């Protein structure tokens, strides 16, 4: 797979080299960015992370306010939030907030039930020697891809978002080297033990990668929603580099206290079609393979959590639980508020 250079202007745009309309790729990426807000909300309800933000308290003092993600579903009469204003915990309008994350333990229980241990994949080839070699290769692929962790990660993504895509990647150089060695071993009549070692090496050249819907963009065949005309992986990532700031900027105070900041690559775009694959990093074409794939099938496996008729997307476990979770948190917060208001006041008297 050779590296080539190019810029994201004129005809040099993602998809052009592998037979996909670049304008369609741009449109799908923009459309997908709108869906990412919903994906972020689903993950936030599952994970329920804590955020900290500085806010001005009722006493005029600035302090850090700690909020859970699921508080977004509580009514303003409980949280004391008016518009975008975030009130302090001591604010008079804020009641006692109770958050009980029922979504996470449900999802974790289902994943543990599905993949408490790694399933065994057994070949049914007629020859015993061939079965042993196939089993050795498949086992090596699973280990190289993460084994049980791969299955649990895929199950988590599918439960939260409704579906998960698995991309199969092959190190072509390593696989070609294995093929040449296998031909020599067959000619010399090598033992089954030597062939097993070769199968383990071939398996390490194959990797299965789960892709979350936040990154994966399917290009559906207009004639059959079950087939892919292409597949795009698009996201932003941070590089292991630091952008240095100049001495003048540090002296002027615009970057006071900072020697540099992490540089974020603007975009990472990978396009798959039956004609091949291309990789764009920060608007530059860095890899291109125009040989296509065997049989014209893309190296993408689509798995739905619960299927939807005539739809590529599946149904997840989090989305139906969001309104139930909001209702539970609201009722628990109301009950805690009533108990607090109805409690007897206690007075401490000191005897001298």
Task: List, for residues 223-269, the tens digit of each pLDDT value.
Answer: 888 889 999 999 988 777 666 655 555 555 555 445 555 566 678 99
Rounded alpha-carbon distances, angstroms, from residue 113 to 103, 108, 117, 155, 167: 16, 9, 9, 11, 24
Using an 8 Å Cβ cutoff, are 32 and 25 in contact?
A: no
Q: What is the pLDDT of residues 95-124, one digit of tens each?
A: 788 899 999 999 999 999 999 888 888 889
| Angle, alpha carbons 329-331-336 (nearest 5°) | 95
Domain count, the chain: 1
Domain residue limits at 115:
16-34+105-308
Residue 264 within a domain: yes
Residue 332 within a domain: no
More confident residue, 89 or 229: 229
Residue 138 within a domain: yes
Residue 236 within a domain: yes
Residue 133 within a domain: yes
Residue 287 within a domain: yes
Residue with tokens 């080297």: 177
171: which 2 tokens?
Answer: 């190190």
Report the percent of the chain where pLDDT is more than 90. Answer: 40
């Amino acid at each position: 797979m050779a590296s080539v250079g190019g810029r994201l202007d004129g005809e040099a745009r993602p998809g052009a080299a592998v037979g996909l309309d670049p304008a369609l790729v741009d449109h799908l990426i923009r459309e997908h960015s709108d869906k990412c807000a919903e994906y972020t909300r689903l993950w936030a309800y599952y994970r329920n992370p804590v955020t900290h933000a500085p806010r001005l308290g009722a006493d005029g003092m600035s302090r850090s306010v700690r909020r859970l993600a699921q508080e977004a579903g509580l009514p303003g009469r409980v949280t004391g939030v008016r518009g975008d204003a975030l009130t302090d915990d001591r604010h008079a309008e804020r009641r006692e907030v109770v958050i009980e994350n029922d979504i996470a333990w449900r999802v974790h229980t289902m994943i543990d039930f599905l993949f408490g241990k790694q399933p065994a994949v057994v070949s049914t080839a007629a020859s015993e020697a061939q079965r042993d070699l196939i089993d050795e290769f498949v086992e090596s692929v699973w280990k190289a891809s993460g084994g049980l962790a791969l299955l649990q990660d895929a199950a988590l993504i599918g439960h939260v978002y409704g579906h998960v895509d698995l991309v199969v990647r092959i190190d072509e150089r390593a696989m070609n080297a294995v093929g040449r060695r296998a031909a020599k071993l067959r000619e010399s009549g090598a033992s089954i033990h030597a062939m097993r070692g070769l199968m383990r090496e071939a398996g390490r050249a194959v990797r299965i990668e789960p892709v979350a819907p936040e990154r994966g963009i399917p290009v559906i065949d207009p004639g059959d929603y079950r087939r892919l005309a292409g597949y795009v992986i698009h996201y932003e990532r941070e590089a292991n580099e630091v952008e240095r700031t100049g001495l003048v900027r540090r002296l002027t105070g615009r970057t006071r206290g900072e020697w540099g900041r992490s540089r974020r690559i603007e975009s990472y775009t990978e396009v798959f079609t039956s004609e091949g694959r291309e990789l764009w990093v920060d608007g530059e074409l860095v890899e291109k393979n125009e040989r296509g794939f065997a049989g014209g099938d893309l190296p993408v496996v689509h798995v739905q959590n619960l299927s939807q008729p005539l739809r590529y997307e599946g149904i997840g476990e989090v989305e139906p639980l969001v309104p139930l979770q909001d209702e539970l948190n609201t009722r628990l917060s109301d009950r805690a508020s009533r108990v607090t208001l109805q409690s007897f006041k206690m007075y401490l008297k000191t005897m001298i």
